[in-house]
């Protein structure tokens, strides 16, 4: 992929350098190293408990590495002010992460408000984002419980993009949606990403999603990084751990 080759010449936006994470004597991540370059979508793929979400949370310092270093924008996350770091990174999680007591507008405006933008600038930004993610203006004053799953997820994406962060972290963003809505949102994500070119790290356990959305795929298994592949490399890999991942799809003869 030319995009990856081109960007790999520049310095990485996110870099894991021999990172391990342990919690109560349990090793959740073991000596992980990889880089994410500007404008690419790196998908962290693996089963439940493989360490994908842990890796994601190390990027915005919801967790700190037990050993090794995670670099964001050329600096170790431990040397960043964690509040500044988090505000410069968009964070999309499964639908439950919206604030239930905030309207759509207030949910989207959270980070700009924290950053004390002027009111009219916030209002304008909310309108812009709602249009960008395909939310009707009439939904502005609704509350999360009054929205469909797909709409909630659009609000989640708009909220993460609000302060125009360079980096977007997405933890199974489309995981809780029905298949039709999911496909629709995946398509829109691709369109959006084509114009915004954010540096995206996305966690999923869905191989199809990984192949469709990812510039590259980082495969995790039991806290270890098996490797980082392009879609082609992944589909053609002879590595048994990769083939194991592909086999259910082959057996079902699904087009991947």
Partner 1 sequence: MLDFFIKNRGQIASLTLEHVWLVGIAMTIAVIVGVPLGILVSRNAWLRKPILGATNILQTIPSLALFGFLLPAPWLGARADRLAIVALVLYALLPIVRNTYTGIMAIDPAVKEAAVGMGMTDGELLTLVELPLSAPFMLAGIRIATVTAVGVATIAAAVGAGGLGELIFRGVAMVNDQLILAGAIPAALLAIAADVVLGALENRMRVPKS
List residues binding partner 1 (CB under 8 A): 57, 60, 62, 83-87, 91, 93-101, 110-111, 114, 143-145, 152, 159
C-beta separation of 202 from 46 below 8 A: no
Q: Which is nearer to partner 1, 162 or 226 (CB)?
A: 162
DSSP state of 190: H
C-beta separation of 162 from 129 below 8 A: yes
Q: Which is nearer to partner 1, 73 or 227 (CB)?
A: 73
CB of 32 to partner 1, least distance (A): 20
CB of 250 to partner 1, least distance (A): 35
Q: Which is nearer to partner 1, 59 or 207 (CB)?
A: 59
User: What Å distances lie between residue 225 and 31, 50, 55, 170, 185, CA to CA?
Assistant: 8, 9, 10, 19, 28
The SS3 call for residue 118 is coil
Q: How many CB atoms lie within 10 A of CB 89?
A: 22
CB of 179 to partner 1, least distance (A): 21
Burial of 173 (0-12, 13-18, 19+ CB in 10 A): buried
166's tokens: 């360079």
Q: Residues 190, 193, 196, CA angle at the centre, nearest 5°?
A: 155
Q: Which is nearer to partner 1, 86 or 216 (CB)?
A: 86
Q: Which is nearer to partner 1, 14 or 93 (CB)?
A: 93
HSE of 162 in the Cβ direction (CA atoms, 13 Å)? 29
Q: Which is nearer to partner 1, 162 or 242 (CB)?
A: 162
CB of 13 to partner 1, least distance (A): 18
CB of 66 to partner 1, least distance (A): 20
CB of 103 to partner 1, least distance (A): 12
Q: Which is nearer to partner 1, 67 or 99 (CB)?
A: 99
Cα gap 115→68, rounded to integer Å = 31
CB of 60 to partner 1, least distance (A): 6
Interior/surface letters 216-254, b for 16+ CB within 10 angstroms, e for the rest: bbbbbbebbbbbbbebeebeebeeeebeebbeeeeeeee
């Amino acid at each position: 992929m030319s995009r990856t080759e081109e960007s790999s010449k520049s310095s990485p936006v996110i870099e894991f350098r021999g990172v391990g994470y342990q919690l109560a004597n349990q090793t959740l991540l073991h000596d992980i190293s990889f880089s994410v370059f500007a404008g690419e979508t790196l998908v962290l793929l693996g089963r439940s408990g493989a360490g994908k979400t842990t890796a994601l949370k190390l990027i915005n310092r919801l967790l700190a590495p037990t050993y090794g270093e995670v670099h964001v924008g050329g600096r170790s996350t431990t040397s960043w002010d964690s509040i500044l770091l988090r505000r410069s990174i968009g964070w999309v999680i499964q639908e439950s992460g919206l604030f239930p007591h905030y309207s759509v507008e207030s949910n989207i405006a959270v980070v700009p408000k924290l950053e004390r933008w002027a009111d009219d600038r916030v209002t304008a930004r909310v309108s812009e984002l709602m249009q960008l993610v395909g939310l009707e203006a009439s939904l502005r004053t609704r509350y999360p419980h009054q929205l469909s799953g797909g709409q909630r997820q659009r609000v989640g994406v708009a909220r993460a993009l609000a302060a125009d962060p360079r980096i977007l972290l997405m933890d199974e963003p489309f995981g809780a949606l029905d298949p039709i809505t999911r496909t629709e949102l995946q398509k829109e994500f691709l369109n959006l990403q084509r114009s915004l070119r954010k540096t995206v790290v996305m966690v999923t356990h869905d191989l199809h999603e990984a192949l469709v959305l990812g510039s590259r795929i980082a495969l995790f298994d039991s806290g270890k990084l098996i490797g980082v592949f392009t879609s082609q490399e992944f589909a053609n890999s002879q590595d048994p751990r990769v083939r194991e991942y592909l086999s259910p799809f082959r057996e079902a003869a699904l087009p991947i």
